[in-house]
Structure 1
């Protein structure tokens, strides 16, 4: 008389325990949610850095495309592309 209800209570407690453990540490559990939030935050930081870099490059390209070309930027790009330096420039070679 006591064994059947005790067995059912034990079985239901085990099933509930299983679901509680899976809710915490399963593939779609709370730990996975925390890990995904951390990854999303890191990706958002990287996206913000890339957007800032893109804005800088868009500004520089805009200076080269306008009717009045920025002479300093043009000279800088020409030196980089041609590999030339001015006689008064100091060149530091970084290994």
Structure 2
């Protein structure tokens, strides 16, 4: 009777080990470094970085435009007047200053 009991016990070991082995891979596929959750985090981070890049592209375009408008080839006198008064802290005689 003891040999039959041993064989029944050994018959359970292999399925249990296979279940544990499969569980490890399922856990790694979901929670691991390259798992599903990490992919979702990376996609969210990618979306944030793309939005930040779009914002920086807009700022760079505005700066390029302002630089072009102040260049020797194309001088925008209104922009030059605005920047000069801002930097020098001056105003025209016909302007009213509100502080």
TM-score by shorter chain over 0.5 = yes
TM-score between both structures, scaled by the size of structure 1: 0.85
Alignment of 1:1-95 (within 5 A): 1-87=7-93, 88-92=95-99
Aligned length: 92
Higher relative contact order, chain-length normalized (CA < 8 Å, sep 6+): 1
Gaps of 5+ in 2: 1-6
Which of these two proteins has the greater Rg computed from alpha carbons? 2
Return the TM-score normalized by structure 2.
0.82
Q: Give the Cα–Cα distance (whole angstroms) in 1 for the partners of residues 75 and 67 of structure 2.
A: 10
User: 1:7, CA displacement in angstroms?
Assistant: 0.5
- Please tell me the root mean square deviation across aligned C-alpha atoms, in Å: 1.5
3-state SS, counterpart of residue 70 of structure 2: helix
Structure 1 residue ranges without an equivalent (≥5): none
